Every structure is written in C-alpha cells, then in structure tokens.
Structure 1
Amino acid sequence: MQSIEVKDAPDIPGEGKPRRNACSPDMLLDLPPEATTLYENFLHGVKGGKFLGRRPIVNGVAQPYVWQTYSEIQQRVANFGSGLCKFGLKTKAFLGFFSINTPKYVIAELACNQYNFISVPLYDTLGADALKFIINQTGLEFVFTTSNKGRILLDMKESLPTLKTIIISDDVDQDFIKRANELKVQVIDFKTVENDGKTHKAEEVNPKSDDIATICYTSGTTGMPKGVVLTHKNLMSVVCSFIFLGEKGKMIKFTKDDVHISYLPLAHVYEKAIEIVFIYAGVAIGFYQGDILKLFDDIAELKPTIFISVPRLLNRIYDNVLASVKGKSITQWMFTTAYNAKKNGLSKGQIDHWLWDNLVFSFARARLGGRVRVIMSAAAPISPDIIDFLKICFSVNVFEAYGQTESYFVFKEYYKEPKKTREVLDKYGWCHTGDIGMWDELGRLVIVDRVKNIFKLAQGEYIAPEKIENVYCKHELVAQAFVYGESLKTSLVAIIVPDRDALILWAKQNNLEKYSFEELCELQETKKHILQALINHGKTNDLKGFENVKNIHLTSESFSVKNDLLTPNFKLKRPQAKIKFQKEIEKLYSEVI
C-alpha cells in the first residue's frame, strides 16, 4: 500500500477519510532541520561542485557549456542582493521576473532568498492583459528582465504606473535607453547591480520560514491569473518530502554528480520547486538556449542525468522513437521483440536487460544524451503506456508527480483575493484542488480530470476529454488534439493537429506527395483516413463507443502559448480553443449523421 487512512480521523459527511503516505502513517513531514528557508537551502548546496551552466553563442552557433561553481555563484548572489539594496529595493519588497530561464535569473532569485525580497514571476508569454494585471496588483516597481521583454514593458508603461526600474540581464541599445528615459523608467544593467553590491556591502536580512518567498501566479485557462502566496516553509516542504522519500527508497537520491537541463519555465512552480530540490543536493543545472526547437541539441551537448518534463513532450519522444523504426522490417522486428521482452520484465520490477539495452535501445537513450537515470513527468496526466515505454527504452525509473501551485504544504492565500481564497481553502484547512481523483487498490491517487473539464453528453454519459486526447496523441499521425462535446449533443468531435513528418510520409505512400503539409490538412482523403485511424486506435486503447469522436477538423497550426491555446506549462486552454474553432465545431456537428 502506498497510502493509508489516518487513524481516528473524524467522519465528515460526504468526504472520505484523509490519507497519508504509508511510509509516514502517524505524522506529517515538516522541514529539513538544517534548511528551513530557501537561503539555507542554497547554503546546503554550496558544498557541491559546478552549479550553473550556459552555452555561449558565437556567430550564431551555440558553443559547449561553460560553468560556474556553487562557491562562485554564492559570491555573485551576495553581491547582486547587496546591489539591489543599494538601488532602493527594501526588505520584503517585490522583484518581478520577466525572462526565460538563465543563470542570471537563478542568481537574482537566490539574492531575493538571501536578502528577504519577494519574487514575482511574470510568465514569458502570459499576454499583455495578464502582465498588466499582475504588475498593477502587486504594485511592482522593480523588474528583472531581458531587453526584448523590457520593450514589452515599455510599450505598456502608460498602463503600469508603479513601474520605475528595469534591471536588464543582456545588452540594450541606445534607442531602448532613450525610450525608457522618456517614460521615466530607470534602466540598470545586471552587472552594474552586481558590481555596486560588491563595493557597497549591504547588511543582510535573512528570511524566516514563515516569510513570503514568492507570489507565483497561476496560468489559469480562464480569467486573470491568481497570485498564490508561498512562504519559504511552503517550498522547503517539497525538499523535505524528496529527502524522506529518497531515504525510504521511494525516490532517487540526487547528488552533486547529477546534471539537470532547465527549460520548463521557472515562472511555473513545477520547475521552481524541482530546482530548489536540486540546489539542496548540489546538482549542476545547465540551461537551454531559449529556443525549444533546439532543446534536443542542448540535451545532446549537456548529457543530463535527470530529465524533468511534461506529458506533451514525452509523448513526442514516444512518437519519434516509434516512427524511426516503423517500416524497417528487421529493425522493427528487433524493436518489437526487445520491447515485449522488457515489458514482461517490468512486471517483475526489472528495467534493465543486458542484451536489448545495448543492441536495440541505445539509439533511444541517445536522444536524451545517453546518461539519464531518472525521468519525471508532471503538470498533466500521462498514459501508463508512455510510462512503460520510457522505462523500457531508457532503462530508468519514471516518476509521475502530482501537485499544484497552491498545494505545497498548502499555500497562504491568493494575493488580495480573500473571496477566491475562501473558495479553495475551507475552514478545516483543506485545499480544494478542482481535480477529480480516485484511490486505486494500492492507495495511489489517480487523477481523472478537472471538475471544469468534465461534461455530460445528451444521453447522460460523462466525458473526460483529456483522457481521450491522451489516447489520440499516442497515435503517430496526431501531434495535438482538442476533444469537444456538449450536453445537447450525443457525440464528440475534435480538432486535430497532425504530426507533420508522419503525415508527409503517409502522403508519399499514398501518391499524395505533391501536396504540402498545409494542403494535406485540407484534403477530405486525409481527414477520412485520420478519423478512421483514430476510431480504430480508440478501440484498441479501450475507449468506449461514446468516447470516440464522430468527426474531426484538421488544422496545420499547432496549439501554442503564442496563439493563446496553451498555458505556459503546455496545458490546453479549452475555452480559448472553443472560441477559436467555434465555426469548425458547428460545421463538424452539422456533418454528423
């Protein structure tokens, strides 16, 4: 059993008994005794070796990673924090972060932790309205940013009355400086803050565990984001959990020999929390170039030992590996034979095979650099088949993590939103997540979907669309899927983004190579083929009849953060998708017999 009911817990009508991890049945974990704040967490990791790595770009070409050690970064953190004090940032004041992941981002956050400032992440692609909302709600005066993101802030300055100072982490031109001066915004170079702090030391005011560490805004799929107020204790409870699970053999123990690639947004609590855990252990953190299309080039260079990801990307790895062996008779036969042999071994707790790992699966491991020893997935449900696939092909432990911004030792409140806080935190202190879950026979929490995602069809059947989308996205021809239904209809329809490479290959095999990818998406022949393929695929994967879509529309435009169809953590924005594809949905239903 993975969890058990709490002894002598009161019976509350309509609620099940609370449960605890079976490894700790009688008590809740608290904090690591030697690290009760994020600043102390960093001090614990300083004994490690190399810390932050990046790839310099020379003439447009990414170079090998260059590193700074924990000790070197410790000095820079102290200098930068001292410099922030010199430029007027007060204890417990807010510092905004509007940037992709970089070493300087981490240095600035660590400085906040040391000098008791409060970080306020701004999602890289939240959109103007949400940015304006967050900056104005928190009254941000100081923002750490890059030159391209800084221009966005300057363009919005008339709507941002509190913004006074921009700290730029890269180079800016004179036009930028001139524009900022006209708008009465002070622009300070990151190095200037660091150097001033080095020569004018400010007294540290280290935080306590109950002090606020960050206001992390949720990237909700509807409305304005909510500011989740997280204390140092909230975030350090995650470290305590990882330490405890590692000691019990339920989680990998991370060490200074591990290497992590940072590409998921640090503005999101998933990456933020996991990096806090890694810093405690002295793990080396290498950053991607900033272009997700070049991620696997960065992975090949870095050769991480840890791969933290989300289902959307792991599903693509699954598709690409299978596509690389399909149609190659001997290769496909060997892969299938090896795969089935290792799958049989999984039932016995075996993830390694002396022959097949070297003979067949080495090419798959190379896609993640060849050294990965653990994979973790979170942010959305992942198919059990994908987990098995990752264990088989990469010969590693695969962990599926569950959590939300609000649920790290239960958050303090939504910033300046008492009504919304009361809707989520009840009088007993329980956090109502909005997820639909169940306990399985081993006491594991299984998340089925979101309350707001579940809907009924006209005949009364409940539909969990994300479950169906996950099934469809496992098909080689499907890159992304949006499954839609409503209570006045008896069937489902879907918007499908085909996989470009797989569709072009299919076109060549069916004498349709004269058509471009965009043109293929408009062909009735393509639509008919993919619809039938999905129906067959759904049946194979145990979808019920009413769960299979009856009609589809193909689009060549991917769902993305840029076109507002995905959150920064790659979750589908259903209300926005419905609005964008409203005409197509109406047409699909008109065609259903």
Structure 2
Amino acid sequence: MVKRIFDLLDNYRECFPDKIDAFAKKEGEQWITYSSEQYLTYSNFISYALLENGLKKNDCVISISNNRPEWNFLDMGLAQIGAVHVPLYPTINAKSYDYIIQHCQPVAIFVSDQILYEKIEPLLADHPSVKLVYSFEKIKAVAHWTRLLEAGEKAEANLKSELTAIKESIQPDDLATIIYTSGTTGNPKGVMLSHNNFMSNVLASAARLSLDSSHKTLSFLPINHVYERMVNYQYQYKGVSIYYAESMDTIGDNLRELKPHGFATVPRLLEKVYDKIMAKGKSLPFIKKSIFLWAVKLGSKYELNRANGSWYEFKLKIARKLIFSKWQEALGGNIMFMCSGGAALQVRLERLFWAAGIPVQEGYGLTETSPIIAANQNAYPDVKFGTVGPVLKGVEVKIADDGEILARGPNIMLGYYKNPELTKQVIDEDGWFHTGDIGCWEEDRFLKITDRKKEIFKTSGGIYIAPQVIENRLKESPFIDQNIVIGEFKRFPSVIISPDFEFLKEYCKRKKIPFESPEDVIFNQKIQVRIWKEVQKMNVNLDRPKKIKSFRLVADVWTPESGELSPTLKLKRKVLKNKYQLLIEEIYS
C-alpha cells in the first residue's frame, strides 16, 4: 500500500520494473530517458550518500531547480531518510531566498544551474546551517550531483541495513516537505505536508486519471509547486512516462514532437493557446475564416452527453474534421486529457476544448490541502462546466454560513512551519480548514467557486464586489491579457487593464492604426474606444451598481518575473495597487 512518498519506489519495483522511460529530459536535440530501475538505484544511492554526510531525520534540504528527472531522484532520496524537502521557485528574489534559508535552516541546498547558484551564493556566508551545496548541471565551484551517486554506491554495503531501519521507522503522518507560499505579511509561510497528505491525494485522484503505463505526459508547470508535484506522483503511481519540457517557451514544440497523451496546466496557458489559435484563424482567407468562425461558434454551444441533439452532433462532427482536428494537431494529436488548476477556467474555453475532442478536467485545491479538494472527471456524468467537480473520495467539504468553503480530511496540512498561531486561524478545533474561497453547490454534488473571501471588497455605497468574476470575464476578450478590478471604499468599481499587445499589434495592422510602441498605443483614442467596448460587453451581465464605470490601460506586461503575478500566474493585488497608486488616485480624483 502506498502511504509514504517513497512507497512509490516499491510500486515501481512491483508494477513497472522494466519501464525504460520513467522520466525524460532533452539535452540538445536528444531526449535522455531514465528507467524505473535507474530511478530506484539513484534514489537509494542519494539516500546512502546523504546519510554518510551526516543528514538525519527532519533535517531540511532546499532545492531550487527547473523540472528535471534529477529533482525526483533527490526527492525520493530525501524521503527515504526522513529528511524534509523544501523545494523553491527558481524565479523568486534573493530576499525571499534569504528569509526562507533563515527560517528553515537547511543543511544542504541543490541548485540546477550557474544562474541560480549566483543568486544564492552571496547569501551563504550568513547561513552557517548550510553545509553542502550541489548542482544538477556542471558548474564551477559546486559539487555535481553525480558525486552523490558515486559516494552512495561505495557506502551501500555499510548503510543498507541502516536505511532499511530508517524507512521502517517513518510513519505516514511524518513531515515530508515544507512548501513556502506567499504570506499576507510579505514573508512566505511554510506549509508542512506529510507523506500521507500527498499519498492520500494521489490515491483518491488517481481514479480520475485516464492514463496508464502505456502513455506519456509532458510536465512543464513548476514541479516545486504542490499541484504539479502531486500530479507527478500520480503519474508515477500509474506508471505514466514523464517527459519534462525544455522551458515554458518550448511547450508548443515539445507537444508536437513528443505527442503526449496529457498534461497539467493552468487557465492562463490555455487562454494563450486559444488566443493564438483565434489570431491564426482570423488571418485566414475569407472562406476558410468563415468556416473557422462557424466551428468556434458551434463549439461555444457545446453541451455534455449529446444534450444538443443529433443535428448539433452531426455539425460538430464536420467541425471536428475541418477545424478542431488542427487544434488537436497543435497539441500533438494524442491528447486524452488536460487537468487545469490554480485559478478559475473560463467556461467558454471548457466548452470549446471539449467540443474539439480535448477534455479539460478543472479541479480545485490549495497548497494546504495537498492540493486537490475537488475535480471533474473526463466523462459524463462526473463533470459539469463552470464547476470544479465532485469532492475527492475521503475529503469532506461544507459551506459555512458566510459562503466560505471548509475542507477536512487526510489531505489537510500539518500546519504552518514555526507558526502555530497562524495554523489556528485556518484550522478550527473540529479540524476544518478554512480555504478563504467562497463557493456553493450545484446539483448537490458539484462544487462551484465564486470568489476569494479576502478579495471581495465593498464600495463606499455598501455594494459588495467580487473582482475575480469580473476579471475572468474581461480576460475572455482577446484584447485583454490581464486586469485588476479596484474600487474598495470608492464610489464605483474601475479596472486597470494590461492589453494583449501581440493581438493589439495585429489588430492595429488590420485597422491601419499606428502601433509604434505599447506606451503610445494605449493612449490612441481608437484603441481606448475599442477596449472600452469590451468592458461594456462584460458590463451587460452585471447589476447596475457593480458595473465598471472607468478604466485605464497600462503599457506594462504583468509577469511573475516583473512581480505583478505569482509563480502560478495569480494577481498580486497589493503589488499592483502600490504600483498604480497614482493611476488609481487619478481615476477617483
């Protein structure tokens, strides 16, 4: 029974001993694969080497890396000796690294490359707890991770029985990892997750994964994030081959090259895929463009279980052959499922991808819930558009009087590291975790998320505004890349918009509007009028006091690197409000 993270290795030994491509990464033009046997061997060698270096149970070890097979070897090597894996985003700043190193006092740090080492190297002198530094790529002044393999192989005979004893002593509820997530005070907070937190989630959600050991998947979301990490464990449990994308920029090329059967994603990436498809379709010659737009319009009306009738299904068959087959080809041609999480997925996109024969399974959860609370399946009747699906087996959910979603079960975190007071604020005496999300039930079994409790604000007129609902609707426009709704304690809600400048450039070209730069085009009167038209389109569906009354365009592109978005592409509202404070004052002056 898989109850601890390293039990996945025994599962490989028993179920998939001859798998030749448990993992793969690309070096140059070639995909380098690692077998299940190598996975077991390398994980053991790392365990032996770390034991020989004096690591013991509950010691923290930080990894700062892109997605790669070596990350898993380290992860399992640490799990087997009871050490605590602390994986960090490669994109966060030096100040955050400094805080986390001070907070968790790691014994060792693993980095993937020279650039990341240069970010942490100046900090090491101030953190004497760090005794060891290793790299996954060969860089100067740092020991390469293969040194551990060599040392572990030599130490195996002496440490084999000790490792066996340590593994037997590790309980499912023991701490396995600390995942640092953004804190409300500015400092990251460490979410403590046990072996059982993860494995209970893996086992409960595995039944909803339609892939098996004959399939392969592409992994590109950061593996240090709880969502992609759990999905990777899920793939391992079912023996699915995991191929790691070279980078976020090569996802399209990797999909077409590998032709995988599925992948995990976030809504923003699907939105960008859709925008590119639409831009390409609208640039087709008139007849082809007309057929393309007909297919998209048809797909936007898609209903599950052939609910639209036989005439609709006949037209859909034609649309799939003429148009949607090209969508499938763009994703490699073999996609059986896509799971989407991290933020709300537009219902329009859900319908379109399902109409194209590419099921999208939207789910919901948090780092503190390891992460899945609820998820749609990829077949009727266990899927409903506009919801995050039925609750996972073994997890309880109830809606509080104020609409907040509460969850309880084996997936709920152990607590926040070194912060029992904050833990008490989110986990009550009865074990219910307060998610901070507002939701409701549909058909008594499908969970629907409506907003973030902390993000709902009130205007000076006493009107409550749920900004995410408005922001998601606005992002359906091809003109809008990102936006933030503002207006707390103000007379009316407004919105600051970061346009999709790639689309805008093509639009300006078609309409013969000058496009010198983003800084110039956002003040062009024709562009202002056109984007306001998109806002007005959205306003139609809002009650009068909730309608957007004013807007401003900004020339900045919001990204995790520039600081306006989190690594999972969520808005950093405090950062944005501070950044555009003068603009906000101008709106309400």
Report the TM-score, using the length of structure 2 for normalisation: 0.85
The residue number in structure 2 matching 1:182 is none
Q: CA deviation at 1:537?
A: 4.2
The residue number in structure 2 matching 1:397 is 359
CA distance in 2, matches of 1:103, 1:370: 25
3-state SS of 1:549 partner: coil
Q: Amino acid of the residue matched to residue 274 of structure 1?
A: V
Instruction: After TM superposition, list the pairs within 5 Å mapping 1:390-539 onto structure 2.
Output: 390-393=353-356, 395-408=357-370, 409-487=411-489, 489-513=490-514, 515-539=516-540
3-state SS of 2:102 partner: helix
Determine which of 74, 78, 81 is the counterpart of 1:112. Answer: 78
In structure 2, the CA distance between the partners of 1:362 and 1:438, relative to structure 1 (3 Å rule), is same
CA distance in 2, matches of 1:514, 1:496: 18
Determine which of 139, 161, 166 is the counterpart of 2:105. Answer: 139
CA distance in 2, matches of 1:51, 1:461: 54
RMSD over equivalenced CA pairs, Å: 2.1
* 5+ long unaligned stretches in structure 1: 1-33, 58-62, 178-186
Q: CA deviation at 1:545?
A: 3.6
Q: Amino acid of the residue matched to residue 491 of structure 1?
A: F
CA distance in 2, matches of 1:500, 1:546: 31
- Answering whether residue 297 of structure 2 is matched by residue 335 of structure 1, we say no
Q: Amino acid of the residue matched to residue 280 of structure 1?
A: Y
The residue number in structure 2 matching 1:155 is 122
Q: CA deviation at 1:586?
A: 1.4
CA distance in 1, matches of 2:66, 2:76: 16
Q: CA deviation at 1:402?
A: 0.8
Q: CA deviation at 1:388?
A: 0.8
CA distance in 2, matches of 1:331, 1:221: 51
The residue number in structure 2 matching 1:195 is 150
Q: Amino acid of the residue matched to residue 429 of structure 1?
A: G
Instruction: After TM superposition, list the pairs within 5 Å mapping 1:300-319 onto structure 2.
Output: 300-319=256-275
Q: Amino acid of the residue matched to residue 307 of structure 1?
A: F
Determine which of 359, 364, 375 is the counterpart of 2:322. Answer: 359
The residue number in structure 2 matching 1:224 is 187
Determine which of 46, 64, 74 is the counterpart of 1:80. Answer: 46
Percent identity over paired residues: 28
CA distance in 1, matches of 2:280, 2:582: 37
Kept after mapping to 1: 8 A contact 2:302/2:351: no
CA distance in 1, matches of 2:154, 2:545: 69
Determine which of 246, 266, 289 is the counterpart of 1:289. Answer: 246
- With a CA cutoff of 8 Å and minimum separation of 6, indicate the structure with the bigger relative contact order: 1
In structure 2, the CA distance between the partners of 1:267 and 1:278, relative to structure 1 (3 Å rule), is same
The residue number in structure 1 matching 2:59 is 93
Q: Deviations over 1:181-220 (max 9, x none)?
A: xxxxxx4210111111112213312132122111111234
CA distance in 2, matches of 1:198, 1:145: 22
In structure 2, the CA distance between the partners of 1:535 and 1:327, relative to structure 1 (3 Å rule), is farther
Q: CA deviation at 1:424?
A: 0.8
Q: CA deviation at 1:161?
A: 3.4
In structure 2, the CA distance between the partners of 1:406 and 1:583, relative to structure 1 (3 Å rule), is same
The residue number in structure 1 matching 2:394 is none
Q: Amino acid of the residue matched to residue 455 of structure 2?
A: N
In structure 2, the CA distance between the partners of 1:432 and 1:496, relative to structure 1 (3 Å rule), is same
Determine which of 19, 22, 29 is the counterpart of 1:51. Answer: 22
Q: CA deviation at 1:427?
A: 0.6
CA distance in 1, matches of 2:33, 2:23: 6
The residue number in structure 1 matching 2:276 is 320
Kept after mapping to 1: 8 A contact 2:496/2:553: yes
In structure 2, the CA distance between the partners of 1:546 and 1:67, relative to structure 1 (3 Å rule), is farther
In structure 2, the CA distance between the partners of 1:564 and 1:161, relative to structure 1 (3 Å rule), is farther
3-state SS of 1:459 partner: coil
3-state SS of 1:420 partner: helix
The residue number in structure 2 matching 1:210 is 173
Kept after mapping to 1: 8 A contact 2:515/2:521: no
Q: CA deviation at 1:168?
A: 1.0
Aligned residues: 529
Determine which of 234, 240, 250 is the counterpart of 2:197. Answer: 234
Q: CA deviation at 1:341?
A: 4.6
* 5+ long unaligned stretches in structure 2: 308-312, 371-410
CA distance in 2, matches of 1:551, 1:543: 15
Q: Deviations over 1:501-539 (max 9, x none)?
A: 221122123322452344212434322321222212442
In structure 2, the CA distance between the partners of 1:196 and 1:347, relative to structure 1 (3 Å rule), is closer
Q: Amino acid of the residue matched to residue 559 of structure 1?
A: W
The residue number in structure 1 matching 2:407 is none
The residue number in structure 1 matching 2:549 is 550
CA distance in 1, matches of 2:297, 2:81: 55
CA distance in 1, matches of 2:483, 2:75: 36
Q: Deviations over 1:465-500 (max 9, x none)?
A: 11111111110111111221111x222222212112
Instruction: After TM superposition, list the pairs within 5 Å mapping 1:236-315 onto structure 2.
Output: 236-243=199-206, 246=207, 251-290=208-247, 292-315=248-271
- Answering whether residue 380 of structure 2 is matched by residue 380 of structure 1, we say no
Q: Amino acid of the residue matched to residue 341 of structure 2?
A: A
3-state SS of 1:266 partner: coil
Q: CA deviation at 1:80?
A: 1.8
Report the TM-score, using the length of structure 1 for normalisation: 0.85
The residue number in structure 2 matching 1:6 is none
CA distance in 1, matches of 2:492, 2:270: 29
3-state SS of 1:348 partner: helix
The residue number in structure 2 matching 1:562 is 561
Q: CA deviation at 1:38?
A: 0.9
- Answering whether residue 92 of structure 2 is matched by residue 126 of structure 1, we say yes
Q: Deviations over 1:559-581 (max 9, x none)?
A: 11112211111111100110011
CA distance in 1, matches of 2:478, 2:67: 31
CA distance in 1, matches of 2:491, 2:212: 54
Q: Amino acid of the residue matched to residue 417 of structure 2?
A: Y
Q: Amino acid of the residue matched to residue 319 of structure 2?
A: W
In structure 2, the CA distance between the partners of 1:433 and 1:87, relative to structure 1 (3 Å rule), is same
Q: Amino acid of the residue matched to residue 108 of structure 1?
A: L
The residue number in structure 2 matching 1:8 is none
In structure 2, the CA distance between the partners of 1:230 and 1:509, relative to structure 1 (3 Å rule), is same
The residue number in structure 1 matching 2:392 is none
Kept after mapping to 2: 8 A contact 1:56/1:65: yes
CA distance in 2, matches of 1:255, 1:136: 42
